[in-house]
Amino acid sequence: MGRAADRVMTGLPSLFRLDQQVAIVTGGGRGLGLAMAQALSEAGAAVAIFEVDRETGQAAAEGLTAAGGRSWAMPVDVGRADQIEAALDRCEAELGQPTILVNNAGVTSNSPFEDLPADDWQRVIDINLGGVFRTTQALGRRLMEGGAGGSIINVASISGLVGNRGGNNSHYCASKGGVIALTRSLAIEWAPHGIRLNAIAPGYFVTPMTDQLRIRDARFYQELVDRVPLGRFGQGSDLAGAVVFLASLASAFVTGHTLVVDGGYTAW
């Protein structure tokens, strides 16, 4: 996304348009990542899906294309810097220079901290925080060379802001807290380059993981729902406005911010 000072746009709707922009969504083949990829595509961006599973990523890109957008997918493990660099090269060739990045790829596991295997800790930290580091660094260097600025959106979690009730995943919380701190600090470092960094912190959303919780422990699931002031878990579409806002010129003066999308869960 170009520097706001260098571009004059009139009319409120145009501020949210992403025409002629290229966006990358890591982990964009399913779930919340796919929902955000769909929102960016509907706003006019060409969308590159970086997805560790080839078939999942390809199906997502084909779906966006069938809906009238421009999309392309490549299998990428965000734990591998070489794969990220190769994917960025291919993305430029297929769609053009990306100026929007949504760092969504992430993993978790369920284990009491006292029993947490060191390998499990390392895997969650390395993908959730290390993946943001690798992808952001690789694209950031290119954005600095091009001089056009950009928007980087890191998907954190309310688990990086408050303790996760009954989750047995403090390592996941630590990784997402790190994402929030990195976003805030790097926003200051890269502001002179016209590169904005913000985070989205989703609350409880309907996902395969929460579906499993509903089946496994219906009472606890309902307890979590009841703690959300809006009375429900989020849907993927609830992130559409947030990601388009942070990707577009509508948020040209917003950087270093964490946008919480949780139905009011953390407002108690």
Contact partners, residue 202, CB within 8 Å, separation at least 6: 32, 155, 157, 158, 234, 239, 261, 262
d(CA 22, CA 146): 14
Report mean pLDDT in 10-residue bins for the chain, 268 residues: 50 94 98 97 98 98 98 98 98 98 95 95 98 98 96 98 86 97 98 98 91 90 96 97 98 98 96
Residue 215: its pLDDT value, please?
A: 93
Residue 218 one-letter amino acid: A
Contact partners, residue 122, CB within 8 Å, separation at least 6: none
Residue 68: its pLDDT value, please?
A: 98
Choose the catalytic residue: 172, 204, 221, 265: 172
The domain limits of the chain are: 12-260
Query: Do residues 136 and 109 touch, judged by C-beta distance below 8 A?
Result: no
> Is 172 one of the annotated active-site residues of the chain?
yes
Residue 5: its pLDDT value, please?
A: 44
Helix intervals (H) in 205-263: 208-216, 218-226, 240-247
Query: Do residues 126 and 76 touch, judged by C-beta distance below 8 A?
Result: no
Is domain 12-260 given the CATH code 3.40.50.720 in the classification? yes
Token pair 């869960």 in the structure block, residue: 265
- Measured N-to-C along each axis, helices 31-42 and 54-66 cross at an angle, to the nearest 10 degrees, of 30
Residue 179: its pLDDT value, please?
A: 98
| pTM attached to this predicted model | 0.94
